[in-house]
Amino acid sequence: MKATRPDDSEHRLVHRLLFFTDAVFAIAMTLLVLELKPPVAESGPDLVAALRGMTGHFIAFTMSFALAGVFWIAHMNTLRRLEHFDWPTVWANLVFLFAVTLIPFSSALLGEAGPGAAAWQVYSAQMVFTSAATTLLLLVASRDGGRLMDGMTGRERAYRTVRAASPGIAFAAGFGLAAAGYIGLAHLCWVLIPVIFWIAHVTLGPRKAA
């Protein structure tokens, strides 16, 4: 019987980490749609009115699905280079997944309670927590010069950190605006995410070859 090399075993553990994370994301993103329960209506006009009444649920679902997708892409972009298994990274990943599994709850709350300040603050706090968790995961996985990823420069680490933190920065602004009574502006806080991405790319992104 052929002996298993340590590096093969390590790679299998890395793959298990990634597969488990993908499964949790798939379940969490599927649970989002469960709040979109078909309305009971006896006529066409009643159905149209009922669907209009679900507008908040549709908006919450769409936004939450998009943000969950952003977090999944960020996770994939962070750990796709992971070459070595590491228990601190596993624990940081579990904290991140804990935050991800709370997204369906905060989305359902926003859809049910409406766009008021309190519901938006809860939703924003959830997104700040999830963003902080993905930033923590990045910092843990890329520590010591990125030895788990076969190397990462300080500039690249800073670039990736700002990108990972961008949803948290945006929704922290949304939380503050809602607390101050600017609920309309608070609902637009998500537009800061691509702006922060662009700033990170311009200031810290990969340099073009001369």
- Above 50 in pLDDT, residue 125? yes
Report the percentage of the chain scoring pLDDT > 70: 94
What pLDDT was estimated at residue 4?
A: 40
Model pLDDT for residues 139-158, shown as the tens digit of each residue = 999 999 989 888 889 999 99
3-state helix, strand, coil in the chain (%, to 5): 80, 0, 20
What pLDDT was estimated at residue 94?
A: 96
What pLDDT was estimated at residue 42?
A: 65
- Above 50 in pLDDT, residue 3? no
What pLDDT was estimated at residue 39?
A: 74
Model pLDDT for residues 26-38, shown as the tens digit of each residue = 999 999 988 777 7
> Region 188-192: what's the mean pLDDT?
95
- Above 70 in pLDDT, residue 5? no
What pLDDT was estimated at residue 41?
A: 65
32 and 106 in contact (C-beta within 8 Å)?
no
User: Which of 167, 176, 151, 175 has its CA nearest to residue 200?
Assistant: 167
Kindly provide the residue ranges of all beta strands, DSSP E only, lying in 35-146, ordered along the sequence. Answer: none
Question: So where are the chain's domains?
Answer: 6-204
> Region 188-205: what's the mean pLDDT?
93
